[in-house]
Structure 1
Amino acid sequence: MTTDDAPGGTGLAEPGASGLPAVGAPAPAWLHEALAAAWGWDAAETEVDLLRLSRNATFRVRVRGVPVAATRVAAPPYMDDTAAVESEVAWVASIAGTGTVRVPTTIAPLDGRTVALVADEVERHWVCHTATWARGTVADDATAPVALHRRLGTTAAVLHEHALGFARPRGFVRPAWEPADLVGPGSRWGAWESACLPPADLALLARARDAALAELHDASRAPDAWGLVHADLRPGNVLLDGDDLTVIDFDDSGFSWFVLDLAAALTGVEHLPDAPDRAQAWAAGYQEVRPLTSADERTACALSMLRRLQVLGRTATDPRGGPSGALRAEQPAGSVLVAERYLRSPTWLLR
């Protein structure tokens, strides 16, 4: 489900271990054995090594040296049952079945379900999902060309059209991305207020947050504006193989304004000089499939402001979270710059 060139991250620590293994390190023995048993791989001929870790860990599975699959492992604090992941898989299977966009195909475990629940050495349970290995390279969020953002816009619009016609199976459950989930007291990615910034800068960010929340208060939730979204459709979550584009990592998918996918496409790069070019390219690509109203534009820019704070919170509270490398270091000061621009013009990214 990812590539040899996947972006770095730290690994899944064995219970009780100090520190975290690096990308490429083998999976803990308990996980290696559990995955081999659940999917019927010969443990002695199977290698399972870490690709990246955010709230979930993603591992590459090789059998006799050949990549065959990628397995995403959800930590117990983040996902403690299978229903949400099974619902994600149902949507992705429908996308694949209709040929909407290219996505990896789920590999069912031996018990015939779509995911497996495996126990570690201390009886914590981990939700594991395995999909076919998809070849390609992952674009860098910071340096992705504007043309890719146009493709992301078109891809998001096609996914939204699919979501509008998707007959959700009984028991389908995915989280919502309400404003409070992005930046509220119980925000899912951590409190942006924990960022190491002077009080004046934190106050500026709070004003921008309040302005964005006010914009969203009356934003339309009609079926053509609110529905099932990928919620993390950025350059780092697509694989490029020639002209082919494969969308990966639907683990954040849920219900929100469709234009949350515009905010997601700019994750962590909103402060860069070409951010408006990227946003406008995304909008142009989107409008090849679906319209964007002036109200949609205001909603998108408000969500982009909140997304910036959401990522700042993740960077501030989780050493593994947020953008990698130089982008991570730029989050505090860059967030202040974005807030200043948003307060000057609430549609600065698109006009």
Structure 2
Amino acid sequence: MTISHPTTETVPAPSGTPAGSLSAFDHVGRGDDAPHWVHDGICLAWGLPLAATRVTLIAVSENVTFKVSVNEDPSLVVRLGRPGYAVSVEHVRSELLWVEALQRDAGVPTPSPRHGADGDFVQFLTDDGGASWTAVGFDFVTGTILEDQTDFADHFVEIGRLTAQLHGHSRGWARPTGFQRFDWTVDDMTGGLARWGDWRNAPLTTGDRAVLERAETTARATLSGIPRTPQHWGLIHSDLRPSNVMTHEGAMTIIDFDDCGYGYFLYDFGSALTFYEHRPSALEMGARWLDGYRQVATLSRDDLELAGALSLMRRLTMLGWATTHRADALPADLWDENKPGTVEVAARYNADPLWLVGA
């Protein structure tokens, strides 16, 4: 195991170097110890004592996240980026620059990025096959993931308020030179170029497929007339769902900005309800999110129509996501409900595109 700092600014390994794969963690479950190259690499990158440090898996999704404890005291969360997912090293570094700015300028509660021993945000770990993985660290935050709680709809007022606060910062923030994040266009959500996989690859009946196709066509038509102006489009979290919100003693923390990018602001409404849109609680969650958002910013009826369309597109995005991810990336009940729930949500959207936004 070695740590390497490439001389170029591209993330993918050099020609001839084996490409890393999330399959390297197929036999590592939540709470299990990390492979030795991850443990040793993290210790070297952040200057931690090898013998006193334990690194355990939190989750495998787009990237791989670990809890790092020193002398049994959790102190750091490290995220490994799979080779090829990020466009460049600047792409990874830019995420952390925005997180810092959100803390400093807007008071958005999110864990502080942790510089490595060499002073840089972005570190590099080399796996047993020779592939280079980016690694970034954040201060460990005590709390419980919202997804692991019950009856959490009340929290959506605060989530909506913080999201509007985040959007306000996005509109006014002068990006540092070299700032780079990807886009979340409709073609990045669904279709052959979908970033996380196309929902059409899911096993569906002919009837269910027709329901989804009709819903997508309607949503795309709604979005086709929306310009990419600062009113509608900018830097967004894009994955601010219950699994990326923590609470502790009444305080809320937003985590996991690794999918942040340029998109429609109200895509964050759809993201907030991810995997829950089909459940009875979704109407209350959505209404409370909108109430919280309105504490900071106004929303027109046209905005609500946009939010409804983006919520539908998000649900289809996540059905595609499930075709390229392992089942333990979600609680078992949400995984099992994802496909039938998506069909149900699409059918409701076909009957009334505003059903989820109360307009």
Q: Give the TM-score taking structure 2 as reference length.
A: 0.90
Correspondence for 1:82: 89
User: Residues 270-281 of structure 1 correspond to what in structure 2 (within 5 A)?
Assistant: 270-281=277-288
1:142 and 1:41 mapped to 2: Cα distance? 33
Q: 1:261 aligns with which of 262, 268, 283?
A: 268
User: Residues 39-188 of structure 1 correspond to what in structure 2 (within 5 A)?
Assistant: 39-79=46-86, 81-140=88-147, 143-188=150-195
Residues 323 and 311 of structure 1: is their aligned pair in 2 closer, same or farther, counting only changes over 3 Å?
Answer: farther
User: Mean Cα displacement is larger for which, 171-180 or 268-277?
Assistant: 268-277
Point out where structure 1 has 5 or more consecutive residues left out of the alignment: 1-12
Q: 1:242 aligns with which of 216, 236, 249?
A: 249
8 Å CA contact 1:163, 1:227 repeated in 2: yes
Letter in 1 for 2:145: V
Point out where structure 2 has 5 or more consecutive residues left out of the alignment: 1-19
Matched, 1:308 2:319: no
Residue 159 (structure 1) shift: 0.5
1:195 and 1:324 mapped to 2: Cα distance? 19
2:329 and 2:310 mapped to 1: Cα distance? 17
8 Å CA contact 1:36, 1:43 repeated in 2: yes
Letter in 2 for 1:343: N
Instruction: State how many pairs are aligned.
Output: 339
Residue 267 (structure 1) shift: 0.1
1:79 and 1:244 mapped to 2: Cα distance? 31
Matched, 1:20 2:27: yes
2:23 and 2:333 mapped to 1: Cα distance? 30
Residue 291 (structure 1) shift: 0.8
Correspondence for 1:9: none
Letter in 2 for 1:151: E
Residue 144 (structure 1) shift: 4.5
Residues 255 and 18 of structure 1: is their aligned pair in 2 closer, same or farther, counting only changes over 3 Å?
Answer: closer
8 Å CA contact 2:277, 2:345 repeated in 1: yes
Residues 240 and 207 of structure 1: is their aligned pair in 2 closer, same or farther, counting only changes over 3 Å?
Answer: same
Q: Give the TM-score taking structure 1 as reference length.
A: 0.92
2:142 and 2:32 mapped to 1: Cα distance? 20
Residue 78 (structure 1) shift: 1.8
Letter in 2 for 1:25: D
Residue 143 (structure 1) shift: 4.2
Moved over 4 A (4+): 13-18, 141-144
User: Mean Cα displacement is larger for which, 133-142 or 81-90?
Assistant: 133-142
Measured against aligned partners, the alpha-carbon deviations of 1:105-160 in whole angstroms (never above 9, x if no partner) come to 11111221111022112221101000111111111278442211111100100101
Measured against aligned partners, the alpha-carbon deviations of 1:56-95 in whole angstroms (never above 9, x if no partner) come to 1110111111111000011113236321110000000011
Query: What root-mean-square deviation, in Å, do the aligned CA atoms of Structure 1 and Structure 2 show?
Result: 1.9
Q: 2:205 aligns with which of 198, 201, 204?
A: 198
Measured against aligned partners, the alpha-carbon deviations of 1:245-296 in whole angstroms (never above 9, x if no partner) come to 1110001111111111100000011111221221111111100001111111
8 Å CA contact 2:31, 2:57 repeated in 1: yes
2:80 and 2:87 mapped to 1: Cα distance? 11
Correspondence for 1:33: 40
User: Mean Cα displacement is larger for which, 15-24 or 39-48?
Assistant: 15-24
**What is the identity percentage for the equivalent residue pairs of Structure 1 and Structure 2?**
36
8 Å CA contact 1:15, 1:121 repeated in 2: no
Measured against aligned partners, the alpha-carbon deviations of 1:221-247 in whole angstroms (never above 9, x if no partner) come to 221221111111122111101121111
Letter in 2 for 1:29: H
Q: 2:239 aligns with which of 220, 232, 236?
A: 232
